Amino acid sequence: MINSTLTDKWQTTIPAKVRKALHLKPRQRLIYELVEGAVLVRPQPETLKDLYGLLADGQAPSDKSRERELARKARTARYK
């Protein structure tokens, strides 16, 4: 079981184990769903607007494998 504490301002820190399991990023929106007296928390799916500029490195990819490599590098750099 993973625990966290609620502050006087009704805030909590999402434990690192949970952040890693859900692949959460800073400023990412979360969805809270009430299910039979419990709360289900999940990341809000990214939209195209969220991904804007992800591949903007000034070079056109030469093929699909290069495009995937550039996307992976850009995403890793963006969320470090």
**Same-domain check for residues 54 and 40:** no
Q: Are 14 and 4 in contact (CB under 8 A)?
A: yes
**Same-domain check for residues 2 and 33:** yes
State the total domains in the chain: 2
- Tell me, what's the pLDDT at 17? 95
Spatial separation of the C-alpha atoms in residues 12 and 29, rounded to whole Å: 15
Spatial separation of the C-alpha atoms in residues 34 and 36, rounded to whole Å: 7
Average pLDDT for 6-35: 93
**Same-domain check for residues 34 and 60:** no
Compare 61 and 65 and report the one with higher pLDDT: 65
Structure pTM? Answer: 0.53
Rg over CA atoms, the chain: 17
Query: Which residues contact residue 29 at a Cβ distance below 8 angstroms, ignoring those fewer than 6 apart?
Result: 43, 44
Write the CATH number for 16.
Answer: 2.10.260.10
**Same-domain check for residues 6 and 38:** yes
**Same-domain check for residues 28 and 6:** yes
pLDDT > 60? residue 16: yes
Parent domain of 53: 46-80
**Same-domain check for residues 23 and 41:** yes
